[in-house]
Amino acid sequence: MSTDTYIGIGLALLASNMCLLLLVLNVLGWINVLHMDLAPIEQFAESTLSQYQVQFQTATAGWLVFFLLTNTSRAKPKDESSEKKDQYRRPRSHTALIVVSVLTTLALPHLLEPHRHRHPIIRRSVLGNVVTASTEQPHAVAGEEEPTIIQQELVFTVDNMTCGGCGSHVRNLAESTLNKQRKSPPSFTVSKVEVDWKAGVMSVYGTHLTEHVDQQSIISVLNEDGYPTSFLYSQS
């Protein structure tokens, strides 16, 4: 791949708030193939890159125009051998593949946004210009007042975490357990799970957590995986 290809893909990653990179890393972490602290990348994308989305998107659009102009300027002669036809066909296929890759990377957050409430991997990968609370909020019955949404926090102490990778692994285990507890329609929502591996603390944020979350189930899963856990407190 040429230098301009790397530039285009790099711009598309920045313009999409690193969505594709985070999606791949989160999947690898979720299936326990990757032992890495992903929180710094997520924080960088959400707090820093999101401020410059318009600039990165403009730069990516400019790169696409330049790339297409410089790679489609040659006209194919009418009479040519099969060898020469292949010489023209290959660059055109290569150009199309690069353009599709850049456009897909750029559009990925918009494609995933409607589904961000379905799984923590998607929720963590679609950062920046998104809401922080889950879209699956309880709805009022016709004729009744809208229910008051109270954000809650469950705090656990977790031992034996020695690095950021352990923190990410603990977060994945907790989120996986919470996913199994949810019903349709969901009895509770989870906006995020944060783990401070240095302090040995895990916090679960969402709504209706104290009433419907089985805290002991989370504790048991983490204990079985070698991370002694206990419930500390809850607050609204």
- Spatial distance between the Cα atoms of 38 and 54, rounded to a whole number of angstroms: 25
Q: What is the dihedral of CA 62, 63, 65, 66, to 10 degrees?
A: 120
Q: How far apart are CA 101 and CA 202, in angstroms?
A: 37
- How many whole angstroms separate alpha carbon 45 and alpha carbon 52? 10
Query: At residue 31, does pLDDT exceed 70?
Result: yes
Q: Does 118 or 226 have the greater pLDDT score? A: 226
In contact, 136 and 117? CB cutoff 8 Å: yes
Q: How confident is the model at residue 182 (pLDDT cuts 50, 70, 90)?
A: confident
pLDDT confidence of 104, banded at 50, 70, 90?
very high
Q: Is the pTM of this model over 0.85?
A: no
Contact yes or no for 200/158 (Cβ under 8 A): yes
Dump pLDDT digits (tens) for 59-102. 999 999 999 888 876 545 555 555 555 555 556 788 888 999 99
147 vs 46 pLDDT, higher one = 46
Q: What is the pLDDT of residue 118?
A: 83
Distance CA 41, CA 26 (A): 11
Question: Looking at the domain that runs over 151-235, which CATH code has it been given?
Answer: 3.30.70.100
Q: Looking at residue 177, what is its pLDDT?
A: 94
* Model pLDDT, residue 148: 62
Question: Domain ranges in the chain?
Answer: 3-125, 151-235
